Chain A
Amino acid sequence: MTKMKVEEQEKARTKARMSGSLMLIEALKEEKVEVIFGYPGGAVLPLYDELYKAGVFHVLTRHEQGAIHAAEGYARISGKPGVVIATSGPGATNIVTGLTDAMMDSLPLVVFTGQVATSVIGSDAFQEADVVGITMPITKHNYQVRDISELPRIIKEAFHIATTGRPGPVLIDIPKDITTAEGEFDYDQEVHLPGYQPTTQPNHWQIRRLVEAVSQSKRPVILAGAGVLHANASNELRQYAEQQNIPVIHTLLGLGGFPADHPLFLGMAGMHGTYTANMALCECDLLINIGARFDDRVTGNLKYFAPKATVAHIDIDPAEIGKNVPTKIPIVSDAKAALQELIAQQGKPADTAAWLKQLDEWKRRFPLHYEPEAGTIKPQKLIEMIYEMTNGEAIVTTDVGQHQMWAAQYYKFNRPHRWVTSGGLGTMGFGLPAAIGAQLADRSATVVSIVGDGGFQMTLQELSVIQELGLPIKIVIVNNQALGMVRQWQELFYDKRYSHSLIPNQPDFVKLAEAYGMLGLRAKTEAEAAEVLKQAFAMDGPVLLDFHVRADENVYPMVAPGKGLHEMVGVKACEESSR
């Protein structure tokens, strides 16, 4: 026997034999997973039995959708993969929305679904669903384990794929018999994926081209998306913008990547972006996109988008470059690596003095604005009050709708990784469970979950989890007795035919909070709002706050669908400060 063979045999002997369920737990330990979000069922009973014995921290949400959104919130704040377990059939189909959401917003998840036993797959067995087929287009990758010997490799690959390159959800479907079968647990193996080699370092020549373009540009602007956050590149973004005197715009998902109070910050772009940000996109001669994907909510009608600009695009996903907007300078790279390289180049800064003066003028003349009104709560004012109450330091999660846009506009994020929202998919029901994951990722943070009266009811059962774990989340319901964003579109584009968007008989949310064993408070005026906010933030536990706001308030400014960014409506000049 050769020496090598002997060594191999030695190694094999030291590898433990165990069940698929135990392998999964061991693998999660190897991956340093701190928390699992899940829900049991027939196909995952062996796995839950091992969980019970292993004493792993598992959060039982009250619906699988809650589990996966919580995992997303966790991933968004911690930067680590969120882990989910669901049973076969209905358990698995309940996570479809969350997978799509994570796919669209590039959140790393590793999701395990139970499956019926291998022997009955394909026979329409009880709680069988073709989960791999269903989730193929909404995962970065997915697997069905067909043999116990593959399990360790697959789990290892799943964590690798979810967290590298452009992050995303990876699903592993495990037939029940695999969870009880025994095999060798070999987790000490290299990931070998010849078809998956993300480019993370920028091409030097393209970097040089960008440096050159900046030095010649008079009106450059940076559009920074969540790619900056995924790459932990906030510091580099700031350093680069300051070094080159380039103003910065954020996408909805990018908020916090660049400090909102920085003089070079122009606000959020797009449908409900600031006047200055959108005008800067219309007027710029060089547009540097860093980690954003030119979503239609950002660009408006592409025909009118950045008409005067040379476009440079830094993205870790080559498929995003040139997808929607023709791109002159493509840079496939991790945002941090590219920014570091750009900073190191110490290129001649753009001569932006006149441009910055123009932008400042716009900022002064056309700020975000709303009409204050006595005797009611203006939703915009409410967000400002929350901002002040939390010193702008809170983690804010939102649902989807008007309240989400107001939160994005009026909560000024100065730090990265404080903002958790569903951007690409716009998933109602996201905000509350996401707050659970966010709080578990950062126990000491103040977490505010700003939700609508509509979307809150899509996942409100997760109040149970908040109460059970005693998470001190402040739940803010912006209660306009309406599916406000739908109502707004019907007002503006459907001649006020409010088809199924008004809900005057919303339940008593304060009583609901009490039913779930937590404090509920209500406010109908600004003074009351100040009062209940003070009370809520002074206490340690969870609170649900029901704010009755004006039902007919709209989100402005706005770029109507199909219009160009230059066609904003609801912009009001602030005359006195224009001189």
Chain B
Amino acid sequence: MRRIITMTVNNRPGVLNRITGLFTKRHYNIESITVGHTEIEGVSRMTFVVNVDDERTAEQIIKQLNKQIDVLKVNDITDQAIVARELALIKVAAPPAVRQEIYTLIEPFRASIVDVSKDSLVIQVTGEPEKVEALIELLRPYGIKEVARTGTTAFTRGAQKATTNQKTVFII
């Protein structure tokens, strides 16, 4: 089961270590992590994509994260209306003969060329992870030299703003 978990944390030394250490200790599988500042000073936002076996494990992850003193709020937003985005840089082999073809191919993805060299192109794409995945697959036959993906960052859509000042309490 793939879950998307977002949380806000105090931006203190070692916080990322605390969180990843917790995942290691309890054998939770992290697919991706993104971290960055928020609109509030001293508060960072993390987005995790994790793979868990069942609901119970997903619930445990949330509860264990909640126990961390520096964690302010945790949400499993997988089943909510969310905006989830990832950015990828793809370096693909592109001798002049196929360049035009590649340009056409990436257009529907609203991807852009950010670097050009003699025999390769660097393509930048943003979107939901599935879209990024799809573009990579389309480009694969041309010979992918390097891929760098940021991992998913996400939050819930405007209408059901999930931000409260309380930690999410799952039991009561």
Contacts and interface: CB of A to CB of B under 8 A. Distances in A.
Nearest to A133: B17
Nearest to B61: A319
A132 B18 CA distance: 10
Contacts of B67: 317, 319
Interface residues of B, number: 28
Interface in A137-162: 137, 140-141, 144, 146, 161
Contacts of A317: 67
Contact of A332 (B13, B56, B166, B171): B171
Interface stretch (B69-77, B78-86, B100-108, B149-157): B69-77
Contact of A137 (B21, B56, B170, B172): B21
Contacts of A78: none
Interface string A180-196: 00000000000001111
A318 B171 contact: yes
A146 B13 CA distance: 10
A144 B171 CA distance: 33
A199 B169 contact: yes
Interface residues of A, number: 26
Majority SS at the chain B contact face: mixed
A133 B66 CA distance: 20
B80 to A, nearest CB: 21
Given A319-B60, A319-B67, A195 B10 contact: yes
A332 B172 contact: yes
Nearest to A165: B67
Considering residues A140, A199, A319, which has the most beta carbons from chain B within 10 angstroms of its beta carbon? A319
A330 B171 contact: yes
B86 to A, nearest CB: 27
A144 B13 contact: yes
B141 interface: no
A119 interface: no
Nearest to A138: B25
Nearest to B71: A195
A323 interface: yes
A136 B172 contact: no
A322 interface: yes
A330 B171 CA distance: 6
Given A322-B56, A330-B171, A196 B69 contact: yes
B172 A199 contact: yes
A206 B69 CA distance: 26
Contacts of B167: 195, 197
B14 interface: yes
Interface in B18-34: 18, 21-22, 25
Contact of A323 (B22, B60, B69): B60
B72 A194 contact: yes
A174 interface: no
A136 B13 CA distance: 12
A319 B69 contact: no
10 contacts: A133-B14, A133-B17, A137-B21, A161-B69, A197-B166, A317-B67, A318-B66, A319-B60, A319-B67, A332-B172
Interface of A: 132-133, 136-137, 140-141, 144, 146, 161, 193-197, 199, 203, 206, 317-319, 321-323, 326, 330, 332
Given A133-B17, A197-B167, A332-B171, 11 more contacts: A137-B22, A141-B69, A194-B72, A195-B9, A195-B71, A195-B167, A197-B166, A318-B66, A318-B170, A319-B66, A332-B172
